[in-house]
Amino acid sequence: MTTGILGGGLCGVVLGADIQDSVVIEAESRVGGHCKTEIDKGYTYDMGGPHIIFSKNQEILAEMKSALGSKLGYGIRDNRCFYNDKFLQYPFENGISELSAEERYKFVRDFLHADQLGAPKNNLKEWLLQRFGNALANEYLIPYNEKIWNISSEKLTSDWVEGRIPMPSMDDMLKVACGLKTIGYAHQANFVYPTEGGIEVLVGAYKAKCKDIRVNEKVQKIDKRDDKWIVATNQNSYEFDEIVSTIPIHDLLKTLSNVPSEINYKAGLLKFNSLINVAMGYKRKNDHTYTAIYIPSEEHLSHRISFPRNFSLLNVPEGMELVNLEITVDTDADLFNAEDQFFKEESIKLLQALNLIDKQEIEYLKVCRTKHAYVVRDENYENSLKEVLNYLEELGIHSLGRNAQFEYINMDEAIRRTHALSKKFLTTN
Ligand SMILES: Cc1cc2nc3c(=O)[nH]c(=O)nc-3n(C[C@H](O)[C@H](O)[C@H](O)COP(=O)(O)OP(=O)(O)OC[C@H]3O[C@@H](n4cnc5c(N)ncnc54)[C@H](O)[C@@H]3O)c2cc1C
């Protein structure tokens, strides 16, 4: 029973390690997908945006730590929210303790008056106002979310946020009102990150256990003949008993013949955003410990900037700083392919506003573009996705992972789902 694994991102290599009689087919020149790391001129950073390891699932967390082997390292989260020229503690509701008494009063008063037990709200904007109150929602949560999702928060549904945007406890809000320090998102307070080599080290551990990986092979056409799957790439043709797709759902449909127009229409309703990740290296101005800074202000393109030096000191050359600036864009917008010089100037402007850079030379610049980064959960999402996935499942194609299942999942969940699928495979085949 030979299994064709389409796509060699994290899910692809974990599945290839689980199912030995398999071939992983990857379009790019190396496996890793979102979890690829660039190591260049002494700088190390994750190309698809910074990827830190954390999880509430202790079993998967232990597996990821063990996969890093001698490169297992730990970081302490020091994330900040940039608000009114201050670097507040993250998440914002915990950072309120650092504001003036008048501002603390405003945020906590509105939180206490929020209609938290009222009828559930359907869109993200109303949900944020209902749960967090006017001040927190209007001054931080709504603008930040509209930047990262690149869409009005009224157009996003709220069915996915429960747990993903955790609520602060009443006790924490009373503490911040009194100016006392609290810690939010405790399961992310410390994180795991490779001491060297970036997140691709994780991928490498599974890759080493795969029997057959083909790179530079883009899946172009898939047919079924006499119970066998025929997968044609730009270089070869393969015959498989089963196939698992981890490639973006829109791209998979293009490889199939006779897809009903209704399914293509539904897939067209599934929206996603792309990500620009600007990596910039320059002489370090100070030894701050920030891991990431969240930027809600509309004035700047980037919604989050991060500092790989504070994930591991080996990520930067001696005395230098490395910053990653993430910008969410429409895939079809001109901005996605704007000149690197434009992103450089925008990035310098932001870093100057944050007083993290002077007039020093930029020694290193690379702009990484990820086409399929974030799924957009608007009103069409749930129903359209169900129909397209059902269609693929009925054909006998198994969909797995962030872009194939078209869900906002992290590495821990991607690995958990992969093991669950391989267990099913190995017991039924
Ligand atoms: C900006 C950002 C930040 C993130 N940060 C974190 C984090 O801090 N912590 C965390 O746990 N998770 C994080 N994640 C989530 C994590 O990246 C994903 O959960 C995980 O990488 C999903 O892996 P995958 O295999 O499903 O998808 P992918 O990585 O997309 O893999 C799909 C693979 O298919 C290949 N492919 C595509 N088309 C074809 C084709 N036609 N033929 C052959 N191959 C093809 C691609 O090249 C790719 O290698 C983040 C995600 C993003 C976008």
Domain boundaries defined on the chain: 3-35+199-269+380-428, 93-178
- Measured CA to CA, the distance from residue 17 to residue 89 in angstroms comes to 40
Q: Is the CB of 52 under 6 A from ligand 1?
A: yes
Q: Is 275's C-beta closer than 6 angstroms to any atom of ligand 1?
A: yes
Q: pTM for the whole thing?
A: 0.96
- The CATH class for the domain spanning 3-35+199-269+380-428 reads alpha beta
Instruction: Report the pLDDT value the prediction gives residue 378, as an integer from 0 to 100.
Output: 96
Q: Which pLDDT belongs to residue 219?
A: 98
pLDDT score for 118? 81
Residue 368 token pair = 């990484």
| Domain 93-178, CATH class in plain words | mainly alpha
Chain mean pLDDT for the chain? 95
Q: Determine which residue's CA is closest to atom 31 belonging to ligand 1.
A: 9
Which residue puts its alpha carbon closest to atom 22 of ligand 1? 402
The count of other CB atoms within 10 Å of the CB of residue 180 is 10
Lowest-pLDDT range, 179-188, 219-228, 346-355? Answer: 179-188
pLDDT at 149: 95
Q: Which atom of ligand 1 is nearest to the CA of 25?
A: 43
Residue 91: asked if its preceding bond is cis (omega within 30°), the reply is yes
For the stretch 43-59, pLDDT in tens is 999 999 999 999 999 99
Atom of ligand 1 nearest to the CA of 405: 26
**Band of residue 183 on the pLDDT scale cut at 50, 70, 90:** confident
What's the alpha-carbon Rg for the chain, to the nearest Å?
A: 23
Positive/negative CA dihedral, 129, 187, 189, 70? negative
* Helix 142-149 × helix 124-132 angle, to 10°: 150
pLDDT number for residue 306: 98
Q: Whose CA is nearest to atom 5 of ligand 1?
A: 51
199 CA distance to ligand 1 centroid (A)?
12
Cβ of 304 closer than 6 Å to ligand 1, yes or no, is: no
11 lines ligand 1 (CB under 6 A): yes
Is there an atom of ligand 1 within 6 Å of 4 CB? Answer: no
